[in-house]
Structures are given as C-alpha cells and as structure tokens.
Amino acid sequence: MTLPGSPHVAYRGDTLHVEDCALPDLAARHGTPLYVYSRASMLAAVGAYQRALAGRDHLVCYAMKANSNIAVLQTFAQAGCGFDIVSGGELARALAAGAEPGKIVFSGVGKTRAEMRQALDAGVMCFNVESEAELDVLSDVATQAGRTARISLRVNPDVDAGTHPYISTGLKGNKFGVAHADAVKVYRHAASLPGIEVVGIDCHIGSQITESTPYLDALDRMLDLVEAVESHGVRLHHLDLGGGLGITYTDEQPPSADVLVAALLKRIDERGHGHRKILFEPGRSLVGNAGVLVSEVLYLKPGEEKNFCIVDAAMNDLMRPAMYQAWMNIVACRQSGDQPVTYDVVGPVCESGDWLGRDRPLAVKAGEHIAVLSAGAYSMSMASNYNTRGRAAEVLVSGSQSWLIRDREQPSELFRGEHLVPGG
C-alpha cells in the first residue's frame, strides 16, 4: 500500500519499506531514532525539473539547507545539480560532496567578509545579494582580493505565497531581498562598483507553496524589473526563480515540478525572455518526501484527557511540529489487526512542546516502531543536541542496498570542545 508522498515509501504486506528495505530491519541494525532516505525518490524529484528544462540553458541548484548530509549532496551533484548555499559551512560541505564551485550560488542576508572571501577563493558562480550594504562590502572584499564577484540581486516582489509566516520570504515585512521599488537604483549602483559583475536577478517568495499563481505573479514583477534595469544599460544574463515548491504531507496538492516549470517557461517566452539562462533553487520538493524518521515506542501512557505514545525521537530530532505546528503523517512500521487508539505522539525532552503529532490513531505496542513520513527536509538539518541528546543516525537506501551515511552522535562528542576550569 502506497502512502501520501513518495511512491518509494510503502507497505509490503504488513511492513513499511523504503524502496526494498524494511524499516524494522533498518531500525534493528542501526538503532533509533533513525532517518532513512530514498535515493530513487530524490532522483525522480530532480528529474522532473530537469526534464521540464530540457533544451534550455538552465541549472537546478539544490537548496541544501533542506538536508545537508554529504551523501545527499553527492547524489544531487552526480545528477548534474548545482547548489544554493547560505553559509561558509554549507560551501565547505558542498565542496566535500563533489560539487562544482561554478555551479554554486551563495544566498543569505548575513554573509560575513570571511564567507565572501571563502566563496570568491572557491570560485562560486554567483552571489545572490540581499541589500545595498552587502553589495558595498562584497565589492570591497573582492577588490582587496583582486577578484571579481559575480552577483544577482535578490528582489523582494511583495507577493504573498500563502504559506506559514515563518517560511514566507517575499513580502515587504520579510527580512529578505531588495525592495522591488529600489531594485533599479541598486542595480545601477552595483554596475558602478569595482570588483562587481552583474549577471542576473533572483527571487524567492517562500516555502511549502502549493499553488502556481504566486510564482507567476512574482515572475511578472521580475520581468518588469529586468526590462527596467536593462533600459539603463545593465545586462542581466540569468533569471533565478528560486524554490519553495511544496510537497504532500497530508492532503496538499501542489503542482508537480514539470507543470510549474512549464507554466513559468511559457510566461517567460511570451514576454520575450526565452534566451536567458534559468535557475531554480528547489529544496523541500527534492528531499521532503524521500525521508522518514523511524522511532521506537517506549511507553504507552493512558490519561484522563489524552493518551500518550512516548517514543525515543523528540523535538531535538524533528523540530518542525514544535516550531511550525507542522502536521506530519505518523504510521506504524508494522500494521496489525488491533484496534487503533488515539494518541499524542511525544518524545522524552522536558518541554510540553516536545510532540511529533497530536490525536493520531495508532495500533502499536511498546518496543515496536513508528515512522514519521515526509521527513526528508528541514528535519535532520534542523536537529539539535538539546537535553544533551545525540543527533540521529542517517541511512541512504537504493533498492535493496542501504548505507549508513551518518553515525549516531555519542555523549562524549557533545562536550568534546568544552573545558573545565583549573581548580574548579
């Protein structure tokens, strides 16, 4: 039985599998909490973008903040992807995974001078600049280094993506990007600076977007700007349309990547901009439905108002429910004929906000395993060591093969860099 999300996560008989690997078997081998990712799911997701862009000058840049395990990055690098990074640490990860520096775009509102120099030395494709102040600093850093920084401006189009306020990035009140009304002035300033080469324009309006209309609205505003900027003699070679396409967690029905891309390309062609290179920065839509979080049921605790299913995964392993009140599907790794009981699925962390799901019907016993589905994005990448809990192990699956791609953290590793004071 296939579940909502990826077809590569499904029941075979009574047992939940990722591709051809049974999750209870992986849990027995590697322990829990455990993240498991489907390689086939990731390749199918990026393939939808690439097929829709076939015949165009394009680059799909995986937004690695969604999931930055180096084996995940390696999978996308081998598939021909570039990378969208937001820190010097992500640059180091991407290079360690085999990324080509000339396929990396550097986004983010708070790039430091050291990070700028690191990216210039690596030879990244482009900086997505998010303020005039950043532009001036980048020009200074590039000039001192004897280099030229290729830039696009991230323009804030003031388009409502209709998503959670914490992951909305394209409105006037958001911290991201250059205001649409100021963009022409800032582009003209950029073109006058030493050490700066203007190459493109960038836009990103949010995350978990489930409709095409906000993208088309933002695109129209971007193309208006392209025409205005070029009327002042500043050439723009590429259009970076960002990411943010949603996935199915429950009953969402976002457009498929190929349908969305086709609609955007059609609009670009209609407006006479089909000659430009096209960039996309998908993250969640490439990895979200590829991953599951497997956790052992520790205790079943009946209560007067609530029944609790206490598991060994917690908010430090999966922050999305606590931070965004996100709904994520939770299922038993082995189905039984028992009558389901409605539980709040909670972890061991000492916070009332430590919950993975509320009011979930589950037929489980202590010692069995549950799986949180669609956990490939913004899950392990947002994990912490709160309560001195080691972060989970990670496994990558391809068919019947599986590889441990991250060791489980041990307590001694968590305070390795800390120091007692003499005589304390």
Q: Which position among 81, 309, 333, 350 bears the catalytic label?
A: 350
According to the annotation, is 320 in a ligand binding site? Answer: yes
CA atoms within 13 A on the CB side of 398: 10
Query: Does 409 belong to an annotated binding site?
Result: no
d(CA 85, CA 62): 9
Residue 321 is classified by DSSP as H
**157 annotated binding-site participant:** no
Annotated binding-site residue? 291: no
Asked if residue 376 belongs to a known ligand binding site, the reply is no
In the numeric block, which tokens belong to residue 171? Answer: 């409105």
**Catalytic site includes residue 81:** no
d(CA 282, CA 215) in angstroms, rounded, equals 13
Residues 6+ apart with CB under 8 A from 31: 393, 408
The answer to whether 230 is annotated as binding is no
Which residue is listed with tokens 């963009």? 183
| C-alpha to C-alpha distance for 424 and 417, rounded to whole angstroms | 17
What is the C-alpha R_g of the chain? Answer: 23
Alpha helices in 253-319 (DSSP H): 257-270, 284-287
CB 246 within 8 A of CB 208: yes
Phi-psi region of 42 (alpha: psi -120 to 50; beta: other; left: phi over 0): alpha
Distance CA 309, CA 285 (A): 30
Residue 102 near residue 94, CB atoms below 8 Å: no
Known binding residue 197? Answer is no
The verdict on whether residue 283 carries a ligand-binding annotation is yes
Does 284 show up as a binding residue in the annotation? yes
The annotation places the binding site for substrate at 284, 320, 324, 351, 378
| Binding-site residues | 244, 281-284, 320, 324, 351, 378
As annotated, the binding site for pyridoxal 5'-phosphate includes 244, 281-284, 378
Active-site residues: which are they? Answer: 350
